């Protein structure tokens, strides 16, 4: 399954590499656009020393961990959100009759390798923040765990968004709110949001486990909302539950899809 994914992705990568100037310009453009989010954080801290009690480097750490997870998923699975286009065009049928998972085919359809520039940008920010912070390295083991947990959660969100499009074929922007909206929310400390919103993204849609709860553990900070300490370690479990729900929703979407007959 993994081998099939990378074979399909490599096909699109070779196609993109046939136009090297366009490829590198798009890669550079992605880095510049992603850097605007960092620029916003720097502008904020040009006018204040803390944001909801967090320093500039701590906010950059939260931004970096969330962005690495998100950009990796944006590179490898974000094309799932194009499923409604295939449904309306009648081309989804061709994915279903091939001896390869429709999810794999949709994820690699029109694979865009120049999005790797955004992964690089996020990794640089994360690396800088880790180097700049005076971290307790006995807690550093959580950093790769939270990045991987974030990848699973964002992949599940994209899968849920894709499954939703089997019902809402004319509203792809609704499903985009699950993915891009979630990433925007998780770039900053959740302490800047209202208590009810934070409860929702902790106990309903587990966005708090992308970087907030485990990030508090790494940074040695208390949760201003008073959640128990054990919550810092529930990210993998929350990601697994969300992934299973996403897989079920995707399977139901495929099972209830009605072919166009084309």
As beta bridge partners, residue 54 has: 51
Three state DSSP letters for 56-106 = HHHHHHHHHHHHHHHHHHHHHCHHHHHHHHHHHHCCHHHHHCCCCCHHHHH
Residues in the chain: 262
Nearest to 261 by CA among 47, 128, 94: 94
Nearest to 153 by CA among 133, 116, 182: 182
pLDDT at 142: 96
More confident residue, 245 or 95: 245
| Number of domains comprising the chain | 1
Q: What is the DSSP code (8-state) at residue 23?
A: H
Range with the lowest mean pLDDT among 83-92, 130-139, 217-226? 83-92
Spell out the long-range contacts of 25-32 with Cβ–Cβ below 8 A and sequence spacing 24 or more: 26/114, 27/114, 27/116, 27/117, 28/117, 29/117, 30/114, 30/115, 30/117, 30/118, 30/121, 31/117, 31/118, 31/120, 31/121
* DSSP result, 110-164: T--GGGHHHHHHHHHHHHHHHHHS---GGGTTHHHHHHHHHHHHHHHHHHHHHHH
Query: Mean pLDDT across the stretch 46-56?
Result: 91
Residue 152 lies in a domain: yes
pLDDT in tens, 152-209: 999 999 999 889 888 876 666 666 777 888 888 999 999 999 999 999 999 999 999 9
pLDDT value at residue 122: 94
In a domain, 103, yes or no: yes
pLDDT digit string, tens, across residues 129-155: 999 998 989 999 999 999 999 999 999
CA–CA separation, 243 and 156 (whole Å): 5
pLDDT for 90: 81
Query: Is 262 part of any domain?
Result: no
* Domain assignment of residue 55, yes or no: yes
pLDDT, residue 205, reads: 92
Q: pLDDT tens for residues 93-135?
A: 888 888 888 899 898 887 888 888 899 999 999 999 999 998 9
* Overall average pLDDT of the 209-222 stretch: 95
Distance CA 172, CA 78 (A): 13
**216, pLDDT greater than 80:** yes
Within 8 A by CB and 6+ apart from 143, the residues are 65, 130, 218
Instruction: Give the range of the structural domain holding residue 54, as residue numbers without chain letter.
Output: 2-255
pLDDT given for residue 1 in this prediction: 66
SS3 202: helix
Which whole-number Å values give the CA distances from 240 to 19, 60, 151, 155, 179, in the listed order?
40, 26, 11, 11, 17
pLDDT number for residue 260: 61
Is pLDDT above 60 for 262? no
Q: What is the pTM of this model?
A: 0.91
- Give a yes or no: residue 225 inside a domain: yes
Establish if 178 belongs to a structural domain.
yes
Q: Is the pLDDT of residue 26 over 70?
A: yes
């Amino acid at each position: 399954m993994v081998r099939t994914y990378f074979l399909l992705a490599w096909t699109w990568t070779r196609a993109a590499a046939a136009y090297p100037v366009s490829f590198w310009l798009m890669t550079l453009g992605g880095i510049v656009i992603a850097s605007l989010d960092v620029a916003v954080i720097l502008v904020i801290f040009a006018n204040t020393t803390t944001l909801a009690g967090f320093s500039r480097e701590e906010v950059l750490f939260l931004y970096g961990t969330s962005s690495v997870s998100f950009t990796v998923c944006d590179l490898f699975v974000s094309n799932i959100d194009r499923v409604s286009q295939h449904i309306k065009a009648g081309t989804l049928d061709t994915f279903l009759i091939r001896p390869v998972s429709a999810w794999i085919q949709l994820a690699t359809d029109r694979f865009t390798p120049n999005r790797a520039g955004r992964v690089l940008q996020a990794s640089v920010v994360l690396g800088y923040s880790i180097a700049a912070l005076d971290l307790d390295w006995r807690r550093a083991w959580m950093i790769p765990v939270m990045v991987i947990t974030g990848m699973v959660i964002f992949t599940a969100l994209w899968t849920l968004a894709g499954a939703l499009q089997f019902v809402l074929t004319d509203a792809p922007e609704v499903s985009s709110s699950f993915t891009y909206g979630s990433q925007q929310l998780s770039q900053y400390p959740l302490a800047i949001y209202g208590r009810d919103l934070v409860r929702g993204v902790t106990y309903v849609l587990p966005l708090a486990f992308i970087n907030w709860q485990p990030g508090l553990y790494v940074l040695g900070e208390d949760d201003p909302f008073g959640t128990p300490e054990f919550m810092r370690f529930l990210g993998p479990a929350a990601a697994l539950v969300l992934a299973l729900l996403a897989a079920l929703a995707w399977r139901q979407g495929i099972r209830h899809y009605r072919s166009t007959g084309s």
